[in-house]
Structure 1
Amino acid sequence: MIGFGRTDRSTLGRWWWTVDRFTLVAFVVLIGIGITLTLAAGPATAHRKGLETYFFVQRQLIFLAPALLALVGLSILSVAQVRRLAIIGFGLAFAATIATLFIGVDVNGASRWLRFGGLSVQPSEFLKPTFVVMTAWLISSGGRDNASQTGVLASAILCVAIVGTLAMQPDIGMSLVISCVWAAQYFIAGMPLLLVFGMFVLGAGALFAAYSMFSHVRERFDRFLDPSVENYQVDRAMEAFEAGGLTGTGPGQGEVKYLLPDGHTDFIFAVAAEEFGAIACVLGIALFAVIVVRGLMRMRREQDLFVVLCCSGFLALFGLQAAVNIGVNLNLLPTKGMTLPFISYGGSSLLALSISAGFLLALMRRTGSEAGYR
C-alpha cells in the first residue's frame, strides 16, 4: 500500500485518498489482460501476415507506458482541468479525423488512419473521450442542475457533424457509438419522453439507411439473419467457445487464433474463451459490469450535472463497446469491427480508452469530507 497518511496534503496524497482505487485497479487489470491476450494471439496473426513473430506485441507495448501514464496522470486533474484539456483535445482530434478524408491511409476500403513514421494512429478514437466531455459541458451549460436547451441543440449539431464525418470514412460502428453516447447523456439530462420514442424511430431509420447505402453493412446483417449463409469468423468463434469449455485448453494451446483474421482485435474474446475457458470469460464480463455499475452508483450522490453527464457518457462508452464486441463473438449481434475495451490489439484504442478512464477517475474522486479529511 502506498504510504500516504490521511493528513498528507500533497497532490499525490490527496489523490490517493480521493481516487476510486478499486476502479483504478480494475482498469489496470484489464490492460494487463489485454497484453496477455495480445501475446497469445499476436504471433499467430503476424505469422499469417508474413510479419515478424512479435510484431503486434511490440506495437502494443509501445503504447503501454503512455496509456498507464494517461490513466494515472489524468486522474489527478480537477474537474475544471478535465474540461479545459478535453475541449482542446476535441479540436485537435476532430481536425485530424477530417484530415483522414484527404491524407488518410486506406485499409480495406476505409480511410481512418494517419501515419506518423512507422506508426498508424486512428484520430477518431480520441474523439470519443473528448466528445463525452464536450457534450456534457454544452448540455450542462444551463447550470449545475438544469440542462440548457441551447446547449442540447449545439451538442446535437456537433454530434451530427461528427457522425457525418465518420460515415464518409466510412466507420459506421464509431458513428453508432458516438450517437448512442450522446443519446444516453441527453436522456440522463432529462430528454422529453416523446423525444425518447422519436430517437428510437430515428435510430431504426439510420440503421436501415446504413443497410441500404453500405454493401458491407448489408452483407453483415444478411449473414446474421440467415443461418444458412456461412459467417466464417463467427462460426470459428463459436467453435472456439465449444473447444474451450469451462476451463479452456490452456495458454498458448488454442487453434482459433491461427484461423481468425481478426483474432487479435475484434475476436480476441473467442481466443480467450478457447485458451482460458468460459469461467474466465464470465469473470471478465463481470469486471466490465462492476466498473459500470459502481460508477453509476457513485453518480447517485453527485450534484454537479456536468460531472454526472461526463461520467455517464464514459460508462456508456465502456459498457456499449464491451457489449457489442462480446455480442458479436457470441453471435448475438451482426458482425461489427468494434474492439473489446483495453483488451483488443490497437494502440490508438488503448491510449484513447486510458484517457477516458483517467478522465472518469478524476471526475469520480471524492470530496475532502467523503475521503476522511477534516
Structure 2
Amino acid sequence: MSAGLRRVLADLVCRALQATLPPSQHSWGWAVRCETAGIPDDTKALLFALDSACGLMPRAVASHLLRHFASLTGEGAPFCEGSVPMTIIEAMMRRPRALGIACAVGAVILGLAYMIIAGAPARYLGVNVGALAISLAMLALLGRTFPLGRQWMGGMTIVMAVALLATAFMGIEVEGISRWVRLGGFAIQPSLILLPVMIVAFSQGRSVLTTAGVVASASAMALQPDRAMAGMLVLGLGTLATICRDRHSIVALTTSIAGFAVTLIRPDPLPAVPHVEQVLYSSFDVHVGAGLAVLGDSVLLLFPAIVGWRRDADNRATYAVFGTVWFAAILAAALGNYPTPIVGYGGSAIIGYTLSLLALPKLAGVGAIAISRDRGEATGTLSDRHLLVGMA
C-alpha cells in the first residue's frame, strides 16, 4: 500500500472530523489535523487520525443532537435561521435518499481505512471505490427514469426474482453453493444487490405481482442456498408484517420462513475470506482504530432508518424495513462467514445499499413535500446545491 495513499486518507479523516465538530470544538479539530501532519510515519499518522476521530466524533454527534433538540423545544437556536450550516442539516434530515448517500460514502471511506490498516491489496480499494461510483450513477439514472410506483414495481420485482432464480441454476458454483455471477471479470452477488431493493420496495407497494416476486425470491435463496439473505428476507418481512398486517405480507413472510428453514438444513461449507468475511472480529486484531472504523460503518448504514423513523411518521414501515434489512446483513456477517456490508471487500453490498435508497421517500413527511411543492423548483434547486456543497 502506497504511503501517499495513507497520508491522503489521514488528511481526509481530519477534514471530516473538522466538518463534523461544532464551532465550540473547532480548535480540537485543528489540533488533531496539525498533530497528524506532524507525524512523519504515514501509517502512524492515519492511526492517530482514526483514533482521534473515534474519540471526538461521539461528542460532536451528541452536541449536534442536543443543539437540534434545543432548537425544536425553543430553548435556543444553535444556528442562525437561513445560514448555510442550518440549510445543510435541514436539507439532509428531510431528504432520506441524500442522507443515505452521505452515509454510504462515509461507510465506504471507513471501509477503505480498515483495508489500508489491515494491508489489503490495492485492487480491493479500487473495486470498492468503483462500485460506489457505479452505484451513485445508477441511483441518479434510475431515480429519474423509474420513479417508485405501482405501475412498474410489480414488473421490476418479477424481473429481480427471475435474476435470483437464474443465479441459483446458472451462477458460479463453489462446493454446491451458487450465489455469484461473473460480470466483466468480477464475481458479484445478485442477491446482495437485488434483495434489499425488493424488500424495501415491497413495504411500499404490495400486490399479487410483487408478492409473487418475493415468494420466488425466497425459493431462490433456498436453492442457492444463502442463509444470510434468507434471514434478511425473514427479518425484513417479519418487521413489515408486524407493522402492516395484510394478506400479502403474511403470505410473503410465511414463504420466506420456509425458505430460511431449507437453508438451515442444507450445508454451507464455505470458509471465511480475508477482508470480506469475519471483518467485525478480525479488524480489532489488526488495530483498535480499524475495529472502530468497522463499527462506525455499521452504525452509518442504519442512520437513515433511525432519522427517518423519527421524522417521517407516514413512512415508518419503510424505514423500519430498511433498517432491519441492513441490520440483518450486519448480523449475518457477525454470526457466519458472510460478507460484511460495505466495509469489507466487494462491490455487491455497496451497490445494493445505494440502490435500496430508491425505495426511500425523496422528502421526509407530507409537510416537507407540501413545502417543496409550494416553494417550486427554483427553491428546491437552491437547497440541493447547499446540500452538495456541504457533503463535498
Instruction: Report the TM range for the smaller structure's normalisation.
Output: 0.5 to 0.7
Q: Which moved more, 1:129-138 or 1:263-272?
A: 129-138
Q: 1:33 to 1:207 in 2, by over 3 A?
A: same
Residue of structure 1 in register with 2:126 after alignment: 58
Query: Where does structure 2 lack aligned partners over 5 or more consecutive residues?
Result: 1-18, 20-81, 83-90, 377-392
Find the residue that maps to 2:182 and give its secondary structure.
strand
Q: Deviations over 1:94-129 (max 9, x none)?
A: 222222233211134311122223122322223223
2:130 corresponds to which letter in structure 1? Answer: I
1:276 CA displacement: 3.1
Structure 1 distance, partners of 2:236, 2:104, is 20
Q: Deviations over 1:290-312 (max 9, x none)?
A: 43321211232x2xxxx444333
2:225 corresponds to which letter in structure 1? Answer: P
Q: 1:102 to 1:131 in 2, by over 3 A?
A: same
Q: 1:273 to 1:94 in 2, by over 3 A?
A: same
TM-score (norm 1): 0.61
Q: 1:36 to 1:210 in 2, by over 3 A?
A: same
In the alignment, is residue 28 of structure 1 matched against residue 40 of structure 2? no
Structure 1 segment 240-251 matched on structure 2, within 5 A: none
1:272 CA displacement: 3.2
2:328 corresponds to which letter in structure 1? Answer: L
Structure 1 distance, partners of 2:118, 2:280, is 11
In the alignment, is residue 268 of structure 1 matched against residue 279 of structure 2? yes
Q: 1:312 to 1:66 in 2, by over 3 A?
A: same
Residue of structure 1 in register with 2:327 after alignment: 319
Paired residues, what number? 281
Q: 1:317 to 1:364 in 2, by over 3 A?
A: farther
Whether the 8 Å contact between 2:114 and 2:283 is mirrored in structure 1 is yes
Residue of structure 2 in register with 1:46 after alignment: none
Residue of structure 2 in register with 1:99 after alignment: 166
1:168 CA displacement: 0.9
1:285 CA displacement: 4.8
In the alignment, is residue 69 of structure 1 matched against residue 81 of structure 2? no
Structure 2 distance, partners of 1:190, 1:368, is 29
Q: Which of the residues 356, 369, 372 maps onto 1:367?
A: 369
2:196 corresponds to which letter in structure 1? Answer: P
Find the residue that maps to 1:266 and give its secondary structure.
coil
1:360 corresponds to which letter in structure 2? Answer: L
Find the residue that maps to 1:362 and give its secondary structure.
coil
Q: 1:86 to 1:312 in 2, by over 3 A?
A: farther
Structure 2 distance, partners of 1:206, 1:165, is 8
Structure 1 segment 1-374 matched on structure 2, within 5 A: 19-20=95-96, 22-41=99-118, 43=120, 53-70=121-138, 73=140, 81-83=147-149, 87=154, 89-139=156-206, 151=207, 157-190=212-245, 203=257, 210-211=263-264, 213-216=265-268, 261-274=272-285, 275-277=287-289, 283-300=296-313, 302=314, 307-326=315-334, 328=335, 335-337=336-338, 339-360=339-360, 362=362, 364=364, 366-369=368-371, 373=375
Higher percent of residues as helix: 2
Structure 2 distance, partners of 1:363, 1:283, is 26
Q: Deviations over 1:205-245 (max 9, x none)?
A: 8766544x3233xx89xxxxxxxxxxxx8xxxxxxxxxxxx
Find the residue that maps to 1:344 and give its secondary structure.
coil
Query: Where does structure 1 lack aligned partners over 5 or more consecutive residues?
Result: 7-14, 44-52, 140-150, 221-232, 234-260, 329-334
Find the residue that maps to 2:360 and give its secondary structure.
helix
1:177 CA displacement: 0.9
Structure 2 distance, partners of 1:75, 1:99, is 23
Q: Deviations over 1:43-93 (max 9, x none)?
A: 3xxxxxxxxx4332333233121123345x279659x80236655543433
